[in-house]
């Protein structure tokens, strides 16, 4: 366990009726980047974050620990996401599959949207 690490947790999830994506996205792979002291705490925080965003977890697909002191060893994208997690505590990337049959091959990559009534200060 590293004292200063960011955990990248990959989830397969589906939107609930509370999610802004409900009705337009079938399912998604969602990466949650959590700055924390231990994987178990990071996983709990990530699942709570997903629920707050209106998503139901299907399964945890992957988990990786990134050490902050090795920041410059990572790719530019990884450095950017790791830095956002350090600043905000939690950062997300949404890779969603559209329900629209005309857009069946399209995938959207962006930060996860929170429901309109959510509390941004919780995490």
Q: How confident is the model at residue 1 (pLDDT cuts 50, 70, 90)?
A: very low
Q: Taking residues 87-112, what's their average pLDDT?
A: 70
Q: Looking at the domain assignment, is residue 121 inside a domain?
A: no
Q: Which tokens go with 76?
A: 């530019």
Closest CA to 11 of 25, 26, 32: 32
Query: Could you read off the pLDDT of 41-98 as tens digits, one per residue?
Result: 999 999 999 999 999 999 999 999 999 899 899 999 999 999 999 999 999 988 876 6
> Residues 6 or more apart from 98 whose CB is under 8 A from it?
24, 25, 26, 104, 106, 108
Q: Looking at the domain assignment, is residue 9 inside a domain?
A: yes
Q: Looking at the domain assignment, is residue 123 inside a domain?
A: no
What is this structure's pTM?
Answer: 0.79
Q: Looking at the domain assignment, is residue 116 inside a domain?
A: no
Range of the domain at 41: 5-110
Between 98 and 10, whose confidence is greater? 10
* Strands 25-36 and 5-15, bridge-based pairing: antiparallel
Give residue 92's pLDDT.
92
Total domains, the chain: 1
Q: Looking at the domain assignment, is residue 120 inside a domain?
A: no
Give residue 21's pLDDT.
84
Q: Looking at the domain assignment, is residue 117 inside a domain?
A: no
The mean pLDDT value of the chain amounts to 83
């Amino acid at each position: 366990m590293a004292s200063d690490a960011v955990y990248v947790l990959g989830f397969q999830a589906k939107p609930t009726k509370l999610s802004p994506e409900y009705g337009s996205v079938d399912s998604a792979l969602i990466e949650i980047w959590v700055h924390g002291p231990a994987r178990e705490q990071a996983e709990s925080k990530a699942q709570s974050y997903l629920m707050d965003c209106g998503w139901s977890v299907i399964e945890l697909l992957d988990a990786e620990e990134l050490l902050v002191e090795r920041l410059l060893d990572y790719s530019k994208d990884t450095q950017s996401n790791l830095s956002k997690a350090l600043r905000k505590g939690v950062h997300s990337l949404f890779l969603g599959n559209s329900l629209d049959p005309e857009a069946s091959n399209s995938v959207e990559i962006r930060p996860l949207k929170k429901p309109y009534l959510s509390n941004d200060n919780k995490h």
